[in-house]
C-alpha cells in the first residue's frame, strides 16, 4: 500500500507515522491524513501517548488526561454509552509511555476474534476487548451505535485482518 501525505499537515518524516518515540515530537491530538495513491482512500492518524505497551493491530480507545504530555492518551476499551469512544489501532507496537500515531480512520490491519466474519460485517470492540468482534450476526451487517469498523476480509481465526475504521465514536458494550 503506497501512501502520500496530504499537505494539510507536514510531518518531519513519513516514517514518523510508524516509528514511536520516547520524546514528544508533535502536538498531542494532531490528526494527519494520508491518501492511498492507488485507491485514493483517506486514512487518518492521531498523535498520542501510549498508556501502556501497545500491541500492533490491537484496538484501543482514545482517552484524555489533565497531565501535561499525556492530554491525548490511549486506553483499554471500557464500557461507555453514547456518544461512545473513538477506537484507535496502532499499526506498530509501542513501548509504554511512548509517543506516536495510531490510526482512527481508513483501511487498517486489526486483530479479530476467533469467530466467523464475512466481508462487509460490521465490527465492534467490547469492554476490555483486545480484538474486534462482529456487531450482530455475521452475513447480516447493520450499522449500529456500537459499530466502529467494517470487515474487508472473511475468516474464522484470531489474526490481524484488513478492516475499514469508520473514524467516529462508537458505544463500547459490556459484552
Query: What is the pTM (predicted TM-score) of this model?
Result: 0.90
**Domain map (residue ranges) of the chain:** 3-172
pLDDT band, very low/low/confident/very high, at 1 (cuts 50, 70, 90): low
Give the pLDDT score at 28.
Answer: 95
Measured distance CA(45)–CA(38) in Å, rounded:
19
pLDDT digit string, tens, across residues 120-166: 999 999 999 999 999 988 887 889 999 999 999 999 999 999 999 99
The three cell numbers locating residue 110 = 486489526
Is pLDDT of 100 > 50? yes
Query: What residues contact residue 134 under an 8 Å CB cut-off, 6+ apart?
Result: 115, 116, 117, 121, 122, 123, 124, 151
pLDDT digit string, tens, across residues 137-148: 888 788 999 999
Amino acid at each position: 500500500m503506497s501512501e502520500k501525505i496530504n499537505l494539510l499537515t507536514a510531518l518531519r518524516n513519513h516514517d514518523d507515522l510508524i516509528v514511536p518515540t520516547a520524546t514528544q515530537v508533535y502536538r498531542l491530538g494532531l490528526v494527519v491524513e494520508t491518501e492511498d495513491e492507488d485507491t485514493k482512500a483517506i486514512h487518518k492518524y492521531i498523535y498520542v501517548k501510549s498508556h501502556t505497551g501497545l500491541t500492533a493491530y490491537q484496538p484501543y480507545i482514545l482517552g484524555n488526561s489533565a497531565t501535561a504530555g499525556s492530554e491525548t492518551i490511549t486506553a483499554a476499551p471500557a464500557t461507555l454509552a453514547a456518544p461512545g469512544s473513538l477506537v484507535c489501532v496502532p499499526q506498530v507496537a509501542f513501548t509504554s509511555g511512548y509517543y506516536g500515531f495510531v490510526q482512527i480512520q481508513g483501511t487498517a490491519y486489526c486483530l479479530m476474534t476467533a469467530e466467523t466474519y464475512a466481508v462487509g460485517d460490521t465490527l465492534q470492540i467490547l469492554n476490555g476487548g483486545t480484538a474486534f468482534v462482529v456487531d450482530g450476526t455475521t452475513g447480516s451487517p447493520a450499522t449500529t451505535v456500537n459499530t466502529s469498523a467494517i470487515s474487508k476480509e472473511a475468516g474464522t481465526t484470531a489474526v490481524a485482518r484488513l478492516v475499514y475504521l469508520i473514524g467516529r465514536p462508537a458505544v463500547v458494550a459490556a459484552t
